[in-house]
Amino acid sequence: MTRTVYLNGEYLPEDEAKISIFDRGFLMADGVYEVTSVLGGKLIDFEGHAVRLQRSLDELEMQHPSSRDDLLEVHRELVRLNDITDGMIYLQITRGSAGDRDFAYPSKDTPPTIVLFTQAKPGMADSPMAKTGMKVISIADERWGRRDIKTVQLLYPSMGKMMAKAAGCDDAWMVEDGAVTEGTSNNAYIVKGNTIITRQLSHDILHGITRAAVLRFAAEAQMQVEERPFTIEEAQAADEAFITSASTFVMPVVEIDGAAIRAGTPGPVAARLREIYLDESRKAAL
Ligand code: PLP
């Protein structure tokens, strides 16, 4: 089935949506993005994604082509036009095209490019991996220094996923100066007793929207949260490990660099947080 996508104010069949070869997203990875999940035809954590999008644009002195309300409307219209029950909406904004290649930013009146498309993922919240858990390897974090800006420079995370796949694993946790930063497309956590440990916010990691919600729910459920760096060795000796992201929600990790966590079985804290996150986010979905 041909999807209907959104490009610069128009809803178009996917094969009719075209952008310039001079678009800076294509030439310079000069663009930012968001991925919002859809469950039961409704948007999960839309507000958080809209706020982070604005922050990414501001950090890069890029114009926002759309208001929050218009953006919400476009998301909802794409869900409707593509009949999405469960899945994701991908949004990308680039600095647009000035009709040539130049390192310098084009003038402020160059219109940004905005693209949105849907990805149907029926039964997305019932992923079998939530029951079995995932295996990760560790790799060096070789990304740029502003990982808090959600840019489309995803080559190193792609390489990380390929390294994980080659090792027979599901993902990679990145390590810098001896401590885990985050997963290739998710935030990383360990659990020790009643304490959830995850790296503090800084330029070193993406400020996950799911992370913010999960830490809030954890605190409400009287769990202790410690925001600090942790090592792979500490993670391997932890009671539990898990990741969060908009598309995986909360997903248990049962093996790190070949060492089993909890004898290779998902733990109760990850399971509980997943349940709370899914319940609460569905209730608040737009
Ligand atoms: N960290 C990185 C590097 C990511 O790419 C992502 C999501 O794409 C996340 C964390 C999780 O962020 P969110 O919960 O907002 O999806």
Cβ density class 240-261: b for 16+ within 10 Å, e for less: bbbbbbbbbbbbbbbbbbeeeb
Residue 192 is a catalytic residue: no
6 phi and psi angles, rounded to 5 deg: -115, 130
Rounding to the nearest 10 degrees, give the CA dihedral for residues 78, 6, 71, 247: 60
How many CB atoms sit inside 10 A of residue 19's CB? 15
Q: How far is CA 148 from CA 24, 112, 209, 256, in A?
A: 20, 21, 12, 25
Residue identified by tokens 């942790």 is 230
Residue 37, pLDDT score: 98
Could you give the CA distance from residue 94 to residue 45 in angstroms, rounded to a whole number? 23
Q: Give me Rg for the CA atoms of the chain.
A: 19
Planar angle of CA 128, 129, 131, nearest 5 degrees: 75
Residue 1, pLDDT score: 72
Assess contact for 278 and 214: CB atoms under 8 A: no
188 lines ligand 1 (CB under 6 A): no
The residue annotated as part of the active site, out of 150, 161, 165, 192, is 150
Quote the ligand 1 centre to 185 CA distance (angstroms): 5
Quote the ligand 1 centre to 207 CA distance (angstroms): 7
188: nearest Cα among 250, 276, 146, 144: 250
How many CB atoms sit inside 10 A of residue 169's CB? 19
Residue 161, pLDDT score: 98
113 lines ligand 1 (CB under 6 A): no
Residue 92, pLDDT score: 98
Cβ density class 156-168: b for 16+ within 10 Å, e for less: bbeebbebbeeee
274 lines ligand 1 (CB under 6 A): no
Partner residues linked to 117 by β-bridges: 90
Could you give the CA distance from residue 54 to residue 49 in angstroms, rounded to a whole number? 9
Residue 58, pLDDT score: 97
Q: Which residues of the chain have pLDDT under 50?
A: none
19: nearest Cα among 89, 99, 91, 76: 99
The residues near 45 (Cβ < 8 Å, ≥ 6 apart) are 36, 37, 209, 210, 213, 246, 281
Output the residue whose Cα is nearest ligand 1's atom 9: 186
Output the residue whose Cα is nearest ligand 1's atom 1: 186
Can you tell me which atom of ligand 1 is nearest the CA of 247?
Answer: 16
Residue 193, pLDDT score: 94
